[in-house]
Chain A
């Protein structure tokens, strides 16, 4: 039986998202397809599959990303779907362990890729917030003030996400001085 669940995760919550998908798989609901904030599951044996997701450097349609996806598939995994630059895989546990990033260097690289995406978005929203609030307060425009506050809220949220990823990255970098 198929089941569709709508759920939202921020980009910096990919660990939480992956954990949730694996919890679902542990209950016998394995990911079948994925769209924006929408996950479709199908029945499986509880714990039959492991799920992994990651953000690629280039969009999944690019040649480099296609080669990567095919490589991951060649290791026994199934490509489930994509959302923007994010790709989702599942693999039967009987085929062996399933990890995409097994060492600190690739984990750090992955985190940096997401952080680079968040930074300009946050900066853009901060710039819009300052502009809108200046215009709104100066000219007495409620619409500009509201837009400015909204931009500010988004900038703070993205900044918080960036900082969470940065903390995670710093910890890995510290470990990388001792371990691979």
Chain B
């Protein structure tokens, strides 16, 4: 996309936000839907792919699941927090620039 780190997808951003506290897959889906006011509904395959990739990159980690992978919970790492903060700054810049131009246009 031309930016230094690239933009996170909306799904990844909301998953990382959700994982500021331990959560399992279904919990993440419900939380993302709630956070976005019902607008964003994560598909199971999309969520699984994002979780696997983020684990590989060390942005999140799995907590022990007592042998039942269906109850596996995930949590954000320090690297994940950094990515989230960096994306937050990027989004803030987008909004501020949009606000400056559009509000001027409206006057």
Assess whether A73 is in contact with B70, with CB atoms less than 8 Å apart.
yes
What is A's interface to B at a CB cutoff of 8 Å?
54, 67-68, 70-77, 96-103, 105-106, 109-110, 180
A105 to B12, alpha carbons, bound, how many Å? 13
Q: Which residues from chain B contact A100 at a C-beta distance below 8 Å?
A: 43-46
Other-chain residue from A74, A98, A99 in contact with B25 (beta carbon distance below 8 A)? A74
CB B45 to nearest CB in A, in angstroms, measures: 4
Assess whether A75 is in contact with B25, with CB atoms less than 8 Å apart.
yes
Other-chain residue from B11, B30, B33, B45 in contact with A72 (beta carbon distance below 8 A)? B45
Q: How large is the interface on B (under 10, 10 to 19, 20 to 34, 35 or more residues)?
A: 20 to 34
Pair count A-B, CB < 8 A: 69
Instruction: Identify the closest chain A residue to B26 (Cβ).
Output: A75
- B21 part of interface (Cβ distance < 8 Å): no
A-B contact pairs, 18 of them (CB 8 A): A67-B69, A68-B45, A71-B44, A71-B48, A72-B45, A96-B41, A99-B45, A99-B46, A100-B44, A101-B45, A102-B43, A102-B46, A103-B46, A106-B43, A106-B49, A110-B45, A180-B9, A180-B10
- B85 part of interface (Cβ distance < 8 Å): no
Q: Which residues from chain B contact A105 at a C-beta distance below 8 Å?
A: 9
- B90 part of interface (Cβ distance < 8 Å): no
A72 to B43, alpha carbons, bound, how many Å? 9
CB B73 to nearest CB in A, in angstroms, measures: 11
A96 to B32, alpha carbons, bound, how many Å? 13
Other-chain residue from B26, B43, B47, B48 in contact with A76 (beta carbon distance below 8 A)? B26
Within 8 A of A (CB), among B1-49: 9-11, 24-26, 29-30, 33, 41-49
Instruction: Identify the closest chain B residue to A98 (Cβ).
Output: B44
